[in-house]
Structure 1
Amino acid sequence: MNDKGIRSFSLGALLDVCGRRPEDFYYDGCLISSHVDPEDEVPMDLFRFPVRIDAFALVFCSKGSITLQSNLTRYELGGNSLFIHVPGAILHVESMRGAEVFVAACEEEFIRRIDVDLKLVSSLALQLERYPLLHLAPGEWNVLERSIAEITDEGVPEPDDPYSREILRSSLRVLIYKACRLIARHIEQESLRQYSPRSRREEYFQRFMTQLRRNYMRERSVGFYAAQLNLSPKYLTTLIRQTTGRTVIEWIDDYVILEAKNLLRYSTMSIQEIAYCLNFPNQSFFGRYFKNHTGVTPSAFRTGSDLRAGADLPQPLSLEGC
């Protein structure tokens, strides 16, 4: 990716650009900001254009509204709603109207460093790519808020204070597990969970998705991914279809097309540069591939002639009354 592409930030780099306020809590790759000012021009200027953030983030809107896009899908956050950003997703904030926002974010490496079970987190992350917006029932956010208050009250420990450091690590682990439990309950309530996270097929699916996220911009063959998992292409295809109801090729194409759409819509790269970026032999081949999967040419998509007025927004999940 060159400087014409979408800007990418780690959590640390994002803080360098936006600045850190005295009341913000930051520790070793984890940020908690309890009073995000909707009038602060620096974050809005940054997010006015799409950026890729390499971190998990809980964005809680207590009142007002926020309109944002994540990977080209538009979401409306209203009062008592929670949006979950997963690492690598492209975020674009369109507007904030009287919004009071709370953000808790952490890098994937931070989760590893504090010994959180990544199998539990990654199982949810796969589903959150499609269902990232939740409406919380009264009191649900309070559970997380109490854990956050304990963390911020504890404060950042001194380098030579091992006891406080371990207390803080343990408290952050508890917060992450509580957030995962809340999210999982919403997903389960809506019958979105389709398979057991502990099954052998699911384990292979997780490994396949890890390889896909790492390699989809370079590799599109079933054989490549089967080789990474030491499986035959036929067996991998059978496993993925049984687990998700979709083929390996469909998963690969989804990732490639989503990246292509993001680059066409938001980057200044030429179509030829995008074709090479996604490892297509030439622009013509990329154009046929894109049209076969979307029904429009890359040029038509870039100019917006494919857009339909009045498209419905994705509906958030809700546990009202539970």
Structure 2
Amino acid sequence: MKKNLLNYKGLYGDNNQRDFEDFVHHELLATRSKLYDWEINVHLHTDLFQIFIIDTGEGVLIQDNTRIKLEAPCILIIPTNTFHGFEFQSNISGEVFTISEQFIESIFKNIPLILLELNKVKQYSFNADSPDLNDFIYLKNKIIRAISEDNRYKKISLQSLFQLFFIGLHHLNTAFEDQKESSNNRTLGYFHAFQKLIKKTLPESKLIKEYASELRITPVHLNRVCQTLVQKTALQVVHEYCITEAKKHLLYTSYSISEISYKLHFKDPAYFSRLFKKQTGLSPNAFRSNNSQKES
């Protein structure tokens, strides 16, 4: 087991530093997968969002030690900072779009509802003759063409095409809760900004009143926003993020429990362990042990 998380600043296998402000990249699924014998180790991209459009063949998505079958045709969304890996069959074909988080946010800065939907891994499955699928294939081809063009309107074209693409996915997302649909943009905007602040700082190093202050609202208002959208207090949202980050280290690194607690800015490893058990039902050691047994 590696000491550190496998975190690529660029594409898989590429850690070159570059400006990702308006980064949009396209390649065939086979291009990179072939280089690694169709197996992509579990990894994450801190600031890059990915869309996998699988036309034919099969594969497996590995996330949080869970194996999720991918069956074509489908579209798979992988948000930033999300651990994921793949095992593809050699007959699989499709495309991969890799987009900077900044570019995604520039598209939907006035539609935070879409940004919230794009925060989770999701697979959209289609029938081969689905009209919806044909619409996405049409947009995919337009996006590929726009990426290859070099003109003054390239960025605007890509923004418009990706807007149509993600709004199309939004219309397919029938499981989206009514209260989120009916929430105003300001409430959604505050929650999205809160999530970004949590990611930027090690959560346990900041109080809820400090988060609220940075958002220029009161702690009571921040709690109301969180209760409206996810039925949790602001502190519970922070703790949920902490536990998610802790699971990454427990699953994919050899850090000790104390080292993980200090990396997440918990002052007391014992408190970290108590919180982890309260949230998951298992101690950190038991969680690591159980998941190690699943792998073997």
TM-score where L is the length of structure 2: 0.82
1:36 aligns with 2:4: no
Say if 1:237 and 1:61 are closer, same or farther in 2 by CA, change over 3 A: same
Aligned residue number for residue 8 of structure 1: 7
Distance 1:38 1:63 in 2: 17
Distance 1:271 1:242 in 2: 34
Q: Deviations over 1:247-287 (max 9, x none)?
A: 21221111111111111011122221101101111322221
Q: Which moved more, 1:79-88 or 1:229-238?
A: 229-238
Q: Deviations over 1:109-130 (max 9, x none)?
A: 3446xx523343x532322334
The 3-state SS of whatever aligns with 1:68 is strand
Q: Is the 8 A contact 1:84 1:128 kept in 2?
A: yes
Q: After TM superposition, which residue ranges in structure 1, 4 or more long, deviate above 6 angstroms?
A: 305-309
**Given residue 294 of structure 1, which amino acid in structure 2 is its aligned partner?**
T
Q: Which residue, out of 207, 220, 226, partners 1:221?
A: 207
Say if 1:74 and 1:284 are closer, same or farther in 2 by CA, change over 3 A: same
Q: Which residue, out of 223, 226, 250, partners 2:236?
A: 250
Aligned residue number for residue 83 of structure 2: 90
Aligned residue number for residue 144 of structure 1: 136
**Given residue 215 of structure 1, which amino acid in structure 2 is its aligned partner?**
T
Distance 1:194 1:43 in 2: 45
Q: Is the 8 A contact 2:45 2:82 kept in 1?
A: yes
Query: 1:204-215, aligned counterparts within 5 Å?
Result: 204-215=190-201
Q: Is the 8 A contact 1:56 1:85 kept in 2?
A: yes
Say if 1:193 and 1:165 are closer, same or farther in 2 by CA, change over 3 A: farther
Aligned residue number for residue 293 of structure 1: 279
Let me know the Cα RMSD of the aligned residues: 3.1
Q: Which moved more, 1:146-155 or 1:206-215?
A: 146-155
Q: Is the 8 A contact 1:226 1:236 kept in 2?
A: yes
Identity %: 20
Distance 2:84 2:247 in 1: 14
**Given residue 287 of structure 2, which amino acid in structure 1 is its aligned partner?**
F
Structure 1: any 5+ residue segments left out of the alignment? 19-26, 158-163, 310-322
Distance 2:136 2:216 in 1: 41
Aligned residue number for residue 194 of structure 1: 179
- Alpha-carbon shift at residue 40 of structure 1 (Å): 0.6
Structure 2: any 5+ residue segments left out of the alignment? none
Aligned residue number for residue 104 of structure 1: 97
Aligned residue number for residue 51 of structure 1: 44
Q: Which moved more, 1:191-200 or 1:54-63?
A: 191-200
Q: Is the 8 A contact 1:216 1:255 kept in 2?
A: no
Distance 1:39 1:237 in 2: 44
**Given residue 118 of structure 1, which amino acid in structure 2 is its aligned partner?**
K
The 3-state SS of whatever aligns with 1:296 is coil
Distance 1:172 1:29 in 2: 11
1:117 aligns with 2:72: no
